[in-house]
Chains A and B, each alone.
Chain A
Amino acid sequence: MGNSISDGLKIIVDLSIPPSDYLKEKACYYISTSSSKLCRDRLNKFEKRYINFLNMVVLNNKKKPYNSFDQIEGFAVESFSKEDFHKFITEIRELIIYSYFSHPVVLSSLPIPINEHEIRMVIEEVTSKNNNFHPRTF
């Protein structure tokens, strides 16, 4: 089941984390397929709170496509007061990072030990080396 994500937010999110050698999908895929209640709630609140801004992003993008996240930030600086801008940036960061780095596909695709088997391999190798590593006696 996918989460509904507006065109404006898709533009922003896809510019925030580009595809990489490890993760070929655009970033909005991971938000739209997040099964986290926290992420869904954050997504729905964000879409409602910033509906006007997101609509403007779509309009601007039609005239001249955004090609960097910095440009989105620049537009946000123009659109919001200083206080609201900081709030916006914090909320968009958290929405993206929460959804992206909690996604099972992301976690299993990145070369970082995350499951029990991978962690055990690292720890067990290290444990055997620990036997020869002991604090000196003071």
Chain B
Amino acid sequence: MTEKYDVIIIGGGASGLASAWHLVNSGLKVACFEQGDFLNKEDFISIEEGGELQRYSSLSYDPNVRKNDFEYNIDSSNSPINIANFNGVGGSTVLYSAQYPRFHESDFSTYSLDGVGADWPISYSDLKKYYELDQELTGVAGVEGDPFYKDIKNLLPPVPLAPMGKKIAGAFESLGWHWWPAYSAIATVPYDGRPSDNYSRPSNIGDFSGSKGSSNHTYLPKAIKKGLILKTNCIVIKLESGLNKIKKVHFIDANGSSQSAISRVYILAASGIGTPRLLLNSSNDLYSNGLANSSGLLGKNLMLHPLGYVEGYFKDNLYSNIGPQGCCLLSQEFYETRAEHDFKRGYTFQVLRGPLPVESSLSLIARKKLKLGSKTFIDDFLSIYNHTAHMTIITEDFPEASNKIELDWSKKNKFNQPGISINYQLSHNSKRMLSHGLTSGRRLLKEAGAYKTFAFGPVRSTGWHIMGTCKMGEDPKDSIVNKFGKCHDIENLFIVDSSIFPSSSGVNPASTIHALSLYISDNILKRYSYLFENINGK
């Protein structure tokens, strides 16, 4: 029997759950199809009991390591950056570091301002109220008054800087560079029924307490209360379309049976790779190049935020391996275009907590800072662990048609569905920006008193921020969706995830993903209400 809904959302991650919450509040019958499962407390092992190892198995950021039947293969061999993600209820927010800065106003008009990247068809002011709504739902820690974010108010107390953060902040002060406590989706005090974080588990190994603002802790419970139908372990494999309209979705249910479902509106929220993969895989006689692809841009303009990494070694115990890993402080000193730079736009420095003992020791061995077989192995380890400072450089990436994803039929999964291949190279601008960030980062850590520094980039396993593959724009010849997220070619198909970002900014995208999804969902109700006519006789 074919299931019937008012709205079908494909993907139960950040954008899908935000959209689900918004739409289900309006009384619509909304179903969210998620290929993965819901994680329960029993799925997490405490750090004291060796839970760090889950980074290398069930909670790995690499689908090729997790090896779940429902996932698809990702071939990143033609890219210096591997895709990183998590598939399951909450999506990649299950494992994200919870860094939660907003875009700058300038990020929406980089082409007009700097002649690079692409302008968005919407502005910061269009998203502002949705950023604020998302902040209220998610709970964001930080400090008001940041010159780059003057309008951000109502923050929770900041995540503690701890000795490492204070030392690095001092170096920023000394150099006269901007710094600010991190904007963190971490409940530093009890918030909205969620407990405060006790900092015993790094944010990027998952959180079962609910203190981290993962979408499964924030939007999902509220959406379920309002009647959201969450269909886990349901893999949507194809959208069936007629001319300009989606007719139904075909999916494999939790029992492995082929099923279908219909609705008035279909919303794609399957990430910057999952969404174009599904559209490409839904080609038919009417749309032989994939759905919504009259522009030929589907899967192209992939942006990944090439990431640089800088580490410094200190004599003092800085307790640098304690606390939410990604959330300490940030600097946007080099965020905007400067005349003296040999690159356009810029980057964010993030000061991080260091990894736990397994990851730390493996990294140190690889860098020859620690040696198996040393008579003083443990003492050597203890002389470095907690005595380090860590920074990343998130560089703004520009859209380029040659950077893209494609279906890979040579690597099919258990359900005979294709994987994807990534073709991606860093631009000259990104390389110069990265080089500047690495050099500046080393200078900063030396200023902080590091006796040795280490820097490299791009870091391979950091392709978390997957953007641009279904570009938003006014012109159907140059974009996939319009300024309200509706596909130009299909009347009842919307996209709410980061695939529609026309440009990438130089910050983590999670808050913008949530805000954009809320904005589009609101506009579906306001501007496309005709799609829901005659529901229940209304």
Contacts and interface: CB of A to CB of B under 8 A. Distances in A.
Contacts of B378: 17, 20-23, 110
Contacts of B178: 138
B322 interface: yes
A52 B68 CA distance: 33
Interface stretch (B90-98, B162-170, B214-222, B397-405): B162-170
A138 B322 CA distance: 29
Interface string B230-261: 00000000000000000000000000000000
Interface in B355-373: 356-358, 361-362, 365, 372-373
B419 interface: no
Interface stretch (A1-9, A35-43, A53-61, A76-84): A35-43
Given A15-B373, A17-B377, A97 B163 contact: no
Interface in A89-119: 93-94, 96-98, 101-104, 106-108, 110-116, 119
Interface string B160-188: 11110010010001000011110000000
B241 to A, nearest CB: 43
A126 B160 contact: yes
A134 interface: yes
B57 A112 contact: no
- Bin chain B's interface residue count: 35 or more
A119 B200 contact: yes
A120 B158 CA distance: 15
Contacts of B143: 134-135
Nearest to A68: B373
Given A18-B377, A22-B378, A38 B372 contact: no
A127 interface: yes
B266 interface: no
Contacts of A34: 50
Given A97-B365, A98-B358, A126-B163, A135 B48 contact: no
Given A70-B373, A102-B53, A103-B50, A123 B162 contact: yes
B44 to A, nearest CB: 14
Given A93-B365, A112-B321, A122-B322, A107 B161 contact: no
Contacts of A111: 382
Given A126-B160, A130-B161, A36 B50 contact: yes
Interface residues of A, number: 52
Contacts of B379: 20
A48 interface: no
A129 interface: yes
B169 A135 contact: yes
A119 B179 CA distance: 25
Nearest to A137: B145
B46 to A, nearest CB: 9
B386 A112 contact: yes
A31 B375 CA distance: 19
A133 B161 contact: yes
B47 A114 contact: yes
Contacts of A101: 52, 356-358, 361
A88 interface: no
A108 to B, nearest CB: 7
Contacts of A94: 362
A104 B173 contact: no
B210 to A, nearest CB: 16
A120 B161 CA distance: 13
B319 A113 contact: yes
Contacts of A98: 53, 56, 358
B48 A126 contact: no
Q: Which among B147, B158, B199 has the highest number of chain A CB atoms within 10 Å? A: B199
Nearest to B177: A138
B302 to A, nearest CB: 30
B161 A116 contact: no
A107 B147 contact: no
Contacts of B533: none
Interface string B314-338: 0000010111000000000000000
Interface string B122-163: 000000000000000000000101110000000000101111
B198 interface: yes
Contact of A107 (B48, B56, B322, B362): B48
Contacts of B361: 97, 101
Interface string B45-70: 00111111100110000000000000
A108 B372 contact: no
A35 B50 contact: yes
Contacts of A120: 198-199
A11 B52 CA distance: 26
A46 interface: no
B100 interface: no
Contacts of B52: 101-102
Nearest to B48: A115
Contacts of A123: 160, 162, 199, 322-323
A93 B372 CA distance: 8
14 contacts: A15-B373, A16-B372, A18-B374, A38-B56, A97-B365, A101-B356, A102-B50, A106-B357, A119-B199, A120-B199, A123-B322, A123-B323, A126-B166, A129-B166
Interface of B: 47-53, 56-57, 143, 145-147, 158, 160-163, 166, 169, 173, 178-181, 198-200, 319, 321-323, 356-358, 361-362, 365, 372-379, 382, 385-386
Interface of A: 15-18, 20-23, 34-39, 68-70, 72-73, 93-94, 96-98, 101-104, 106-108, 110-116, 119-120, 122-123, 126-127, 129-130, 133-138
Given A36-B53, A73-B373, A119-B322, 12 more contacts: A16-B377, A18-B377, A36-B50, A37-B57, A72-B373, A97-B361, A101-B356, A102-B50, A112-B386, A126-B161, A133-B169, A137-B145
- Of all A-B residue pairs in the complex, the 6 with the closest CB atoms, nearest first, are A69-B373, A102-B50, A20-B378, A101-B357, A116-B200, A16-B372
